[in-house]
Structure 1
Amino acid sequence: MRYRPSVASRRDRPSESLFQNHVFVEPLDVLPRFASVTPPPLEVLVHLPSYGALLVPAPDTPRADLQTSDPYTVKGEVEVRLTPGQKHHRCHGIRMEEDVFFEQVFPLIGNTVFNQRSQRFDFSLSVSTPIAPGDAVSHDLRVLCDLSAQVIGLNPAPRANFDGSPLRPRFDFSHLDERETMKQLPSYEEQQEVDNADVRWIEDMISSHRIVVVKYNPNPMGSVNVLDDRFSTFVQGLGLIEAKCSASVFTVAGPMVARIKIPSPSLDATIFAFRLSILQRQTIVSPRDGTRVHTESLVPFATIGTVPKASTQYPSLDTPFVWSGQEVGQSDERKGWSSEIRGRFPRCDKCRWSTLPGVFTPVTLSHLLVYDLFYSLFGEEHDGTKMTVSGPGRLRRMRRTKATILPNSFT
């Protein structure tokens, strides 16, 4: 698993979908300027369930006397195909690689021969939890989890990091364990066919990289998350305010419904808008030097009415409103005001999911559900004092916040 900002060079990743296999050929030496490039004799594919999305249970609440957690097992297949027209090829070994801020490497199978058929090798990785959740939106800071399969030839070149720097010495392939650990050994007929054929050694190292998306479910029962947040409060000039926000499937970009009811507002009140937002707080810790960067962003996702501009201090009588009392001069026959709105929570490109307690990651996010009601009282300042000259009152905002865990989307 790696952390990198969005300004990093993208030469290390093709622009295709994150969930596709990306195959690279790493030769022994740099090719001459006008040398012809020979296509790789093999194609390596990494197959994972659910398109590489790993739904991990929420970690237990950390305790001083309980410092361990159960590992999470990732199962899949590595498929090796000979490209059309290629004969048998022998490789030095196959291994899987998983980068989780530390590099964990183990050999999958040792010296073997590939025939003209497609061959698959099962693997099972035990990942210690809590592992940092992936975050791979192109415009934002990233935490990437790569699962790599490598077919190793006689003279593999050292791999490089995302920034082009070489990996640490423990990635030296000369120390690769060649013990066969898989059960998919060739049959007697296949071995005889290989023994009688002209088998060529693979010279380079052929790699396939697959993005793995780690997602945590905050629900301890493992089912869908539900939101039912409601409150009631008393505000001078508006009286009793009742509001709620609910979602049968609470998730990023999931559907929601919100309701607000003000039974007996003052006759000199004007209500301009009711808005719901997500306040996102982000803390980024550099894995290199521990530097912390804190940012906040308010992401509105549902609005009833029109929110006055921030520069507006005293909304005029022609400012759009959703309810106004008789004493304002814009008579509304309704005794009170109530409304309902349906919409969706912010998309993942606007708002990221919350970081669960006990999960350690360079990018930590927390969220607040924010209710904002914009209104004014005719002839009054925002603190309730009377204006020197009677007229439209100063703009006020009633805000209510509720800490919440915004779940990831599991679809």
Structure 2
Amino acid sequence: MRRFFSSSASRTSSPSFKSKNVRLTINIPSYGCVFMNCDPGGSSVFPTDAYMVPPGDPDYTIGRDLSGELEVEVPRGMGPRRCRAIRVTLKSVCKLNMGPERGWEEDVLFERQVEVKGAIILHEGVQRFKFSIIVPFGLGPYDQHPNGGIKLDLFAAVEGLGGRSSTMSPGPSPAGTPKRGRSPTRPPARPLPGLSESSRSVNGASTPGGGSSGTATPPAQDDGTPADVILPHLTVSWNEAMGGNSATNLESEIQWLRGTVEASRYITVLYNPDPENGINTLDVRRRGDVGGIGVFDVRLTSNPWTICGLVKIHVSIPDPSPTTTMYYARLLLNQTASITSPRDDPATAVPIVQSTPFVVWDKGMRPPKATPTRDTPAFFRGSKAQGSDHGGVILSGVGRIPNDEAGRPSTLPIVITPIKVTHSLILEVWYSVYGEDARGMPYDKPQHGQLRVLRVEKPVVLPSCAFIPEVMELPSYESHTFEQAPCKTCKTPPEQQACQTCPLTSVPHARHDLPPSLVGNPNGVCPTCEKRFITDDVTGKWMDCACGHSLKDIEERMRTVALQDIDDAGPGTQTPPHVKEEAERRGRPGWSSAPNSAPPSRPRTPPQPQLPNSYTPPLPASQPPSQPGSQPSSQPPSR
């Protein structure tokens, strides 16, 4: 998540190497994050805002509204300029390695554009254009793997005549221009509820420069519905295209913008597995009985349960056999990525599957040989296995899930993406029974037993590292301090430092009508007041996601959350958040249904768990999780 919450996450500008050229800035709330709320158990959608359709409606393409503003700044002294079009495009592109025969393939998964055409006059100063693009449910989020990735970008462009473009688009790709892959079948898009046809056209407005009024109607989409539009919010004139006879002599003297000015920024889509749009927690318990170890009880807890979160491990073996020796125990997070090219037919395509095990926690030393000896290190050696240990064994510890540079969130069923990610937690205990082989058969004469592995596996849904309380909850009123003194630069009282002339729906910003001689800014913006409206991701005021939290911070939170004992009614589940206890702890009435703002860039990346340097055998075939009271199977380690 660091790439989305970085210092350039909320405001992205066109390059500044041409100081006298037009400059673009894309302002997006919530740091460019689109939070989705969906049911992890199926494909139904929970109606949490006005743009969602009721569950069961086959047309669920209407999703979240990605709204923002495009700032177009024409430098002072440059004079007004004409442009042919202003457009904002949301594009999702995947790049997949489909093997040595096909190589790397790059495809456009989704593209939606809002555009205004016509001879548009841009005056000196800053002009803001509000835009709105609907992000459909099921759109694949950002993802990265060694053999593939998906990215979602928002592009803005002001098109002039000829000339060289000023752009900050990414470097060329070896795959060339992305191709259109086979897209999943979608119902046709429909207009937003409450928008009439008249509101879908952009009406002209006269400007101080003498521009005449005009109308620019957005082009229709393929299904016949009008496209989304960019609505003007300041003094902008919308005129007829070149060759029209309505332009005045004064307008005809306005020069055209040369080339195309472009800007882009990252956008991320986040799917919360929790149906209540709250904090995800993990509370898993497994009980069973296996030869040599006897009855065991495994419990895994985490709060919050996210990428780069902490997991508490508690393994209880109350009465191991005195002939048992336990050498090594570990908790693995097994991540499986299944890649299917959008160019292939989903009915016949064979996915490319890659599994990556991450060691979250371990204890002891893994034996290097199939038959250990008396000198092999062990954390428990029974009295009848040439040792002196007796009684029960308790294994406890804390491990950390890999950060989002290696670990990826689980893919929910509603998401349509060429890369599907699944996870499972695997607890392994490496042990031997004196006088028995790996299958429990006795030897002809007493000797050290062969190595066995107790394996307990639990499939889990791993949420994104962004779903932490600091993001999902509104901050308390007491946690904020308010300025009382006037600005030291412009002497403006705090309550008057915000812009009062732009529409209330615009992104909050400092006022821009102050005397330039007073603030030293030709646009009339006080630099001191402007800092009040800079998002926290620029100032580095607080952490953004679990990857930015230290071990101490997360451990402190887990200590304050009371983990309630669960009844032994099932094999273990991911439990919903303890809403009441958490609300009382934080001193607020309850959870908020949506984030107020996302936090800033994290200052550091936590240490990444690594696999041991010694040889690690391949993971055995998946076994069904042991049920309480059932007999789980132990097996010899794979070599």
TM-score above 0.5, yes or no: yes
Q: 1:146 aligns with which of 123, 143, 153?
A: 153
Structure 2 distance, partners of 1:267, 1:187, is 85
Match of 2:361 in 1: 302
Paired letter, 2:363? I
Cα displacement string for residues 7-63 of structure 1 (whole angstroms, at most 9, x for unaligned residues)? xxxxxxxxx9884737379xxxxxxxxxxx977711212111232222211257337
Structure 1 distance, partners of 2:371, 2:233, is 77
Give the CA deviation at 1:391: 2.5
Structure 1 distance, partners of 2:18, 2:176, is 23
User: Which runs of 5 or more structure 1 residues have no equivalent in the other structure?
Assistant: 1-15, 26-36, 169-176, 189-194
Match of 2:217 in 1: 179
Match of 2:89 in 1: 97
Other structure's SS at 1:102 match: strand
**Contact 1:108–1:123 (CA<8 Å) still a contact in 2?**
no
1:316 aligns with 2:373: yes
Say if 1:273 and 1:381 are closer, same or farther in 2 by CA, change over 3 A. same
**Contact 1:24–1:206 (CA<8 Å) still a contact in 2?**
no
1:67 aligns with 2:58: yes
Say if 1:352 and 1:283 are closer, same or farther in 2 by CA, change over 3 A. same
Paired letter, 1:301? V
Map 1:167-316; keep pairs closer than 5 Å: 178-179=216-217, 181-186=230-235, 199-290=254-345, 291=349, 292-309=351-368, 312-316=369-373
Paired letter, 1:282? A
Say if 1:68 and 1:18 are closer, same or farther in 2 by CA, change over 3 A. farther
Match of 1:29 in 2: none
Structure 2 distance, partners of 1:116, 1:320, is 76
Say if 1:164 and 1:122 are closer, same or farther in 2 by CA, change over 3 A. same
Cα displacement string for residues 211-230 of structure 1 (whole angstroms, at most 9, x for unaligned residues)? 11111000010001010001
Give the CA deviation at 1:318: 2.1
Structure 1 distance, partners of 2:119, 2:66, is 24
Paired letter, 1:145? L
Say if 1:393 and 1:85 are closer, same or farther in 2 by CA, change over 3 A. farther
Cα displacement string for residues 173-208 of structure 1 (whole angstroms, at most 9, x for unaligned residues)? xxxx943852414189xxxxxx69974311211111
Structure 2 distance, partners of 1:231, 1:76, is 48
Q: 1:390 aligns with which of 441, 446, 450?
A: 446
Match of 1:28 in 2: none
Other structure's SS at 2:125 match: coil
Farther-moved stretch of structure 1 (177-186 vs 380-389): 177-186
Say if 1:167 and 1:230 are closer, same or farther in 2 by CA, change over 3 A. closer
Map 1:45-60; keep pairs closer than 5 Å: 45-58=25-38
Paired letter, 2:12? N
Match of 2:399 in 1: 343
Paired letter, 1:75? S
Paired letter, 2:407? C
TM-score where L is the length of structure 2:
0.53
Map 1:344-383; keep pairs closer than 5 Å: 344-383=400-439
Match of 2:131 in 1: 123
Paired letter, 1:62? S
Give the CA deviation at 1:344: 1.4
Paired letter, 1:385? M
Match of 1:13 in 2: none
**Contact 2:39–2:274 (CA<8 Å) still a contact in 1?**
no
**Contact 2:83–2:119 (CA<8 Å) still a contact in 1?**
yes
1:330 aligns with 2:322: no
Give the CA deviation at 1:288: 2.1
Q: 1:402 aligns with which of 437, 445, 458?
A: 458
**Contact 2:428–2:456 (CA<8 Å) still a contact in 1?**
yes
Give the CA deviation at 1:102: 3.3
Paired letter, 1:165? T
TM-score where L is the length of structure 1:
0.80
Say if 1:263 and 1:167 are closer, same or farther in 2 by CA, change over 3 A. closer
Say if 1:363 and 1:394 are closer, same or farther in 2 by CA, change over 3 A. same
Say if 1:107 and 1:245 are closer, same or farther in 2 by CA, change over 3 A. same
Q: What's the % identity of the aligned pairs?
A: 27
Paired letter, 1:132? G
Farther-moved stretch of structure 1 (320-329 vs 357-366): 320-329
Farther-moved stretch of structure 1 (378-387 vs 111-120): 111-120
Give the CA deviation at 1:307: 2.4
Paired letter, 2:217? R
Match of 1:165 in 2: 177
Cα displacement string for residues 88-135 of structure 1 (whole angstroms, at most 9, x for unaligned residues)? 322112111112413222215753333332222121111221211111
Structure 1 distance, partners of 2:367, 2:124, is 69
Structure 1 distance, partners of 2:117, 2:177, is 28
Paired letter, 1:113? I
Cα displacement string for residues 73-102 of structure 1 (whole angstroms, at most 9, x for unaligned residues)? 111111122357633322112111112413
Say if 1:140 and 1:85 are closer, same or farther in 2 by CA, change over 3 A. farther
Other structure's SS at 2:387 match: coil
Other structure's SS at 1:133 match: coil
